[in-house]
Amino acid sequence: MTEFLSEYGLFLAKSVTVVIAILAVVIGIIAASSRAKKDARHGDIQVEHFNDELQEMKEVLEGSILDKDELKAIHKAEKKKEKEEKKARKNNPPKTEERNKRIYVLDFDGDIKASEVEPLRQEISAILMMAEADKDEVVIRLESPGGMVHEYGLASSQIERIKRKNLPLTICVDRVAASGGYMMACLADKLLAAPFAIVGSIGVIAQLPNFHRLLKKNDVDYEVLTAGEYKRTLTMFGENTDKGREKFVEELEETHTLFKNFVKEYRDQVDIEKVATGEIWFGKQALEINLVDELVTSDQYLMEAAEEADIYLVRYEEKKSFQDKLSEFTVDSSDKVLSRWWTRLTQPRTWSR
């Protein structure tokens, strides 16, 4: 009996120790996270030199593919070129120290709420403090199917800040810039698109389910009280009227007119009545009707530009608490699992015997 009690006491002591240790770690993480969230800035600007990335990729390939003699010859040629350039600068020093053109690259991946507006405004603010109108360029790699009018209106206003500084602005569309996405894209001095990128959708849409008949069938009353004749034109639960519908459509038409005028202001070469039908076009079609200026991917454009300019990838990284990171990890993991199962269920399978 004494031996049993001794072993049980030892087991209990170990268990309590483990529980206390776990609680201490959890409390410490939460406390540190709370302090970081309270004391730290909202985020930081991150900058990467695109030219260096290209050079690193090239060197990795050379090291894997070429033999020692070929590598030696390349390095010898590079050193000779550097020596000649250094000698030329020494013999003919420039009157003023000239620098390479700088290209600042931003990425905007838009959702229905244009959630990337906050990072975009921070990135643009940082660039505007550094870039020079007569020497530099801003490139935005834009992807968006559009969304809420007021959100994309704000995103477009952020891009307008670049134009007010007279900085050359190039916007690249590799996949899609439709509706609100095109509202942003049309601000470009040079609008580039991949051959199969989707652009356009210059129109306005609103969809609203109505459950009035269902509620009425189940003897459920729903009242909407407003002050102002058009405070609420359509409702999801009340009975909608023809007058309310007419007013709602009128507001859609007014928004569409604003959209068309905005596009016409920045791309006066387009036949606005022809393109503002809500249709979408692929890159080659869009080029024919002046919705874009050139067919080229962002990769090709930047790689060619890197031969003459220094390219910097600029992004704003928000500082996140431990809880935020844990939450994002959980959501991302769930999305991946659901996406994997959806693909398995919907993709056709080919069987062989």
Residues 240 and 291 in one domain: no
Residues 188 and 211 in one domain: no
Across the chain, how many H-helices and E-strands are there?
Answer: 12, 10
Specify the CATH number for the domain of residue 120.
3.90.226.10
Q: Is the pLDDT of residue 26 over 90?
A: no
Active site residue 83: no
Residues 193 and 211 in one domain: no
Q: Is-contact 54 62, C-beta < 8 A?
A: no
Q: Name the active-site residue from 38, 90, 217, 231.
A: 231
Residues 129 and 210 in one domain: no
Q: Name the active-site residue from 144, 156, 179, 298.
A: 179
Q: Is the pLDDT of residue 175 over 90?
A: yes
Q: What is the pLDDT of residue 333?
A: 65
Q: What is the pLDDT of residue 4?
A: 53
Interstrand relation of 280-282 and 198-200 (parallel, antiparallel or unpaired): antiparallel
Nearest C-alpha neighbor of 321 from the set 30, 74, 59 = 30
Q: What is the pLDDT of residue 239?
A: 84
Residues 107 and 196 in one domain: yes
Q: Is the pLDDT of residue 324 over 70?
A: no
Q: What is the pLDDT of residue 98?
A: 78
Q: Is residue 2 part of a domain?
A: no
Q: Is the pLDDT of residue 345 over 60?
A: no
Residues 197 and 250 in one domain: no
Element (H, E) at 45: strand 43-49
**253-306 pLDDT tens trace:** 999 999 999 999 999 999 999 999 999 999 999 999 999 999 999 999 999 999
Residues 197 and 221 in one domain: no
Q: How confident is the model at residue 51 (pLDDT cuts 50, 70, 90)?
A: very high
3-state secondary structure 242-303: HHHHHHHHHHHHHHHHHHHHHHHHHCCCCCHHHHCCCCEEEHHHHHHCCCCCEECCHHHHHH
Cross-strand pairs, 200: 178, 280
Q: Is residue 35 part of a domain?
A: no
**89-147 pLDDT tens trace:** 677 766 666 788 999 999 999 999 999 999 999 999 999 999 999 999 999 999 999 99
What is the chain's mean pLDDT, rounded? 84
The domain tally of the chain equals 2
One-letter identity of residue 154: L
**69-97 pLDDT tens trace:** 777 888 788 787 777 767 776 777 666 66
Domain hosting residue 248, numbered range:
204-264
Q: Is residue 234 part of a domain?
A: yes
Average pLDDT of the residues in 31-36: 55
Pick the most confident of 57-71, 130-144, 218-232: 130-144
Q: What is the pLDDT of residue 319?
A: 75
Q: Is residue 80 part of a domain?
A: no
Q: How confident is the model at residue 350 (pLDDT cuts 50, 70, 90)?
A: very low
Q: What is the pLDDT of residue 224?
A: 79
Residues 288 and 144 in one domain: yes
Residues 152 and 291 in one domain: yes
Active site residue 231: yes
